[in-house]
Structures are given as C-alpha cells and as structure tokens.
Amino acid sequence: MRYMMFVVADPDATAEAEPTPGDLTIEEWLADVDGRGKRIIGERLRPLSDATTVRVSRGQVLVTDGPFTESKDWICGFDILECEDLDEAIAIAARHPMARGGKLELRPFWPGDHA
C-alpha cells in the first residue's frame, strides 16, 4: 500500500524539550527508511512565503500569493511510502523527527494511480 506522508510544521507547538534516547535525527530516519526500501521519494518544501495558489474560474487563471488554507499549520515536506499496511506506515511516521513538535499526516493513495 502506498501512502503520502505530509510533514506538517506547527508554529504554535511548544518545542518538544530534550530529546529522549532513541530519537532519530532526520539523517538516521532516512537511512533507516531508505535502507529498508520503504520510501519512494521525499522532499523538503520551501516555506509558505514562496507558495503560489492557482485556480481557474470562468476560464480565467487566478493566481494568488501564499497557501490556500488559513490554517497556521503548513506542509514543510512530504515522503511517499510503500508499506505493508497502515501499522507499518504509523511506525515509520512515529520515528520521524517532526513527529515531535510537528505532526505527520498519512494519506493512502487512491488505487490505480500507480502500477
């Protein structure tokens, strides 16, 4: 099963204090997930000040500056995971450094979009 994992930053989150032993750095997380072939692709994204929203209304392309939601949370990266099932994806997300202080959203792919 393929999942899109959105990495979400929460500006209001109280910075998770001291890391506990066993917490992974992003490099360690990548090494683990890539080493097991669980990640198809993943990238970090530039901040909302660099975002552009596009929509079309009555044939007119409307381009606006910034994100399309009012929410303070913003997606700062993503990874596409290939997992056995949701429990495996949850375990991978729980080890991501942004799980502390930020959050991760797992979205299963609509089937048929990949071979």
- Where along the sequence are the contacts to other proteins (CB under 8 A)? 1, 83-87, 90, 106, 108
- Largest pairwise CA distance in the chain: 56
Smallest separation, CB 17 to other proteins (Å)? 19
Q: Which is nearer to other proteins, 70 or 84 (CB)?
A: 84
- Least gap, CB of 91 to other proteins (angstroms): 8
Q: In whole angstroms, how close is the CB of 55 to other proteins at the nearest point?
A: 27
DSSP-assigned letters across all residues of 71-89: -S-EEEEEEEEE-SSHHHH
From start to end of 1-115, where are the E strands? 2-9, 39-44, 52-57, 60-65, 74-82, 103-108
55: nearest Cα among 66, 45, 63: 63
Whole-number Å distance between alpha carbons of 9 and 70: 14
Q: How far is the CB of 67 from other proteins (least distance, A)?
A: 25
Residue number, 38 or 74, with CB nearest to other proteins = 38
Q: Based on CB atoms, which residue is closest to other proteins, 4 or 48?
A: 4
Give the nearer residue to other proteins in terms of CB position, either 19 or 108: 108
